[in-house]
Homo-oligomer: A and B are copies of this chain.
Amino acid sequence: MVALDKIDRKEIIIKVAQSLFGKFGLAKTTIEDIARQARMGKASIYYYFKSKESIFKEVIEKEGAELRRKIQDAVSSVETPQDKLRIYALTRMESLKKLANYYNAMRDEYLEHYAFIEKARQGFDAFEVDLISRILKQGVDQGVFAIANIPLTAEAILAAIKGLEYRWTIEVPMERIRENIDVLLTILFKGIEKRA
């Protein structure tokens, strides 16, 4: 079918671009590289995308969507609000470190795209605050958390988790990260728990 073919091609291009951007960065990846690996002439790329930047944007969006799904799945895999928060924090740590490096590399080489990336980052932020808010609300509904202002608390918790993330850049083993998250979450849980 014609329409399906079109979608397939687009997806091939995106996949190839995702892999190449990941390996070599935005600047070092040429349209010709993408075309070659996608087995088409470079002019053909422009039948599916209006510019290199638009490919880049779709790749970023795809990475973001994948990450959201991954976090969402992890959170859904456990039951209690406490476990949800814990597994959320761990999953975002593991995954976002990769994406953050990606973003930073992009920012360094192409300052022009910074605004766009910043917007993507903010969108992801909103997703996280929303996710945490929903977990907190669930805890409040179940009578295990006592929280006055849920969105503000969610923001504070996200900030705290991010603080841990920034604290170690690359060289820290996941084990120590887990330990620190545990300490932080233990305090936070006691702080938002409903008292007997």
Listed in ascending order, the chain A residues whose CB lies under 8 Å from chain B are: 149, 152-153, 155-167, 179-180, 183-184, 186-192, 195
Contacts and interface: CB of A to CB of B under 8 A. Distances in A.
Which of A149, A163, A166, A195 has the largest count of B CB atoms less than 10 A from its CB? Answer: A163
Given A159-B184, A163-B166, 9 more contacts: A153-B183, A155-B183, A156-B164, A161-B163, A163-B164, A163-B165, A166-B166, A187-B192, A195-B195
Contacts of A156: 160, 164, 180, 183-184, 187
Q: How many copies does the complex hold?
A: 2
Nearest to A166: B166
B153 A187 contact: yes
Contacts of A164: 156, 159-160, 163
Closest CB pairs A-B (n = 5):
A163-B163, A191-B191, A160-B160, A187-B191, A159-B163
A136 to B, nearest CB: 11
21 contacts: A152-B180, A152-B183, A153-B183, A153-B187, A156-B180, A156-B183, A156-B184, A157-B187, A158-B163, A159-B163, A159-B164, A159-B180, A160-B164, A160-B184, A162-B163, A162-B166, A163-B164, A187-B191, A189-B191, A190-B191, A191-B191
